[in-house]
Amino acid sequence: MLREFQKFINRGNVLDLAVAVIIGGAFGRITSSLVDQVLMPAIGMIVGGVDFSDLGIVLRDRHLYSTVADAVAAGVPVIQYGAFLNTIINFLLISLVLFFIVRAFNAVRERLERKALEEEEAPAELPADVKLLAEIRDLLKERNAQG
């Protein structure tokens, strides 16, 4: 059982998938940070100093809370559309980056496939002994034609 598990883990696909999941998680945190701490504050400043993380609708006792974060901390139901906007922008950034990665990967793969196809179509170089035999054949044909 242990040997079978080790064989399963050592297969390339499983290891590749594990690495992809770890890198994907780290990449997600990077893009979340980019959206939450760089893009949204800049966009908020451009549109009049709005803090998108504090955008929301307090559904009960609205007058008791000065910010959405205070209402959330108190356990009051809140529709946090600012956080939702951050998540949408985060998703769009990740999708855009993945699109460019897949596009680059496909371009490289197509180039390699084209090169392999060209190599298959190109006539192979004849070995030296075959060339020598062809020359002898041609000389014999010439001699028979003259003679």
Domain extents in the chain: 2-146
Q: Is the dihedral of CA 14, 16, 22, 24 positive or negative?
A: negative
pLDDT at res. 147? 65
- Segment 65-92 mean pLDDT: 90
pLDDT at res. 16? 77
Distance CA 103, CA 100 (A): 5
Distance CA 106, CA 100 (A): 10
7-60 confidence digits (pLDDT tens): 776 776 777 788 888 988 888 888 888 888 888 888 888 888 887 878 899 999
Type of residue numbered 100: F
Distance CA 52, CA 75 (A): 20
pLDDT at res. 91? 86
83-120 confidence digits (pLDDT tens): 898 888 888 888 888 888 889 989 999 999 998 888 77
Instruction: Judge residue 4's burial from the number of C-beta atoms within 10 Å of its C-beta, 0-12 exposed, 13-18 middle, 19 or more buried.
Output: exposed
- Could you name the CATH architecture of 2-146? Orthogonal Bundle (1.10)
Distance CA 33, CA 40 (A): 10
Structural contact between residues 78 and 59, judged by C-beta atoms closer than 8 angstroms? yes
pTM of the model: 0.57
pLDDT at res. 96? 86
pLDDT at 144 over 70: yes
